[in-house]
Amino acid sequence: MGGHRREPTAYAVGDNQFTLLELIPKPGVSLTIGERVYIGKDVEKRDKIAKVKGRIDYAKLSAGAHGELPYVLLEMVKAGEERFVRFYNDAPPITTRYHSLELLPGLGKKTMLGIIEERKKAPFGTFADLKARVPQVHAPDKLIAHRIELELSDPHQKYHIFTRPPVQQENEGFA
C-alpha cells in the first residue's frame, strides 16, 4: 500500500467579509495563531502562503480551529473598532417589528432601544463610549464577535450582516 502524505494546511479568516479560507503555507514557514498574512492576488507579495485552496465551511474546520476562532474574531473586531462602532451608530431596522441590532446575541429590545436613544443624541465614538452611555452593553466588541461566529457556524442564518453567506450546496439525492 502506498502512503498518502497530506500537505500542511492553515485556516484563515478574511478580515473584510470574515470568509473562512483554507491555505497552504510555503515550505518551511511557521505560522502563529492570529497572525495576519497576505493572501491577495499578487503572488510575489505572498511571503508565507503558497496557495489559497479556497473557501471552507465552518463544519470542516479542525477542532483546534473551532476552539481558537472566537478569540481570533474578537481580536479582529477590536482591530476594526471604527467599522463596528459605525454598525452600532447606523444599524437600520429590518422590519417594523425587528431591528438589526437585535441580531446581536443577548441584545434584547430594551437594550436596543437604549442604543437607539443614545445614538440620536450623538454618534458613539468608541466601544468604551458605547459602554459608558448604554450601561446594559457590557462588551460591545464581544457581541459583534459572537454574531460573526454565529453567521459562520450556522448555515441556516437568515441574515448575514457581517459575513459573506456560505456557498449554497447542490441538493444531493436521486432524481
13 near 80, Cβ under 8 Å? no
Least confident of 7-16, 17-26, 75-84: 7-16
Pair 114, 44 in one domain: no
Domain limits for position 96: 70-153
Is the full-model pTM beyond 0.85? yes
Pair 48, 75 in one domain: no
The total of structural domains in the chain comes to 2
In-domain check, residue 4: no
In-domain check, residue 37: yes
**Higher pLDDT among residues 3 and 37, named by residue:** 37
Residue type, 81: E
The pLDDT value given to residue 46: 86
Taking only the tens place, the pLDDT of each residue in 101-114 is: 999 999 999 999 99
**Higher pLDDT among residues 138 and 175, named by residue:** 138
Pair 52, 93 in one domain: no
Mean pLDDT, the chain, rounded, equals 89
The pLDDT value given to residue 135: 93
In-domain check, residue 76: yes
Pair 52, 90 in one domain: no
Q: Does 3 have pLDDT greater than 70?
A: no
Pair 114, 92 in one domain: yes
Pair 78, 130 in one domain: yes
Pair 149, 87 in one domain: yes
Per-residue burial over 147-169, b = 16 or more CB atoms within 10 Å of its CB, e = otherwise? bbbebbeeeebeebbbbeebeee
In-domain check, residue 163: no
The pLDDT value given to residue 45: 86
Q: Does 91 have pLDDT greater than 70?
A: yes
Pair 136, 74 in one domain: yes
Taking only the tens place, the pLDDT of each residue in 27-68 is: 988 899 888 998 888 888 889 998 889 999 999 999 999 999
CATH code, domain carrying 123? 1.10.150.280
Pair 75, 117 in one domain: yes
Pair 29, 90 in one domain: no
In-domain check, residue 172: no
Confidence of residue 132 (pLDDT cuts 50, 70, 90): very high
The pLDDT value given to residue 168: 58
Q: Does 77 have pLDDT greater than 50?
A: yes
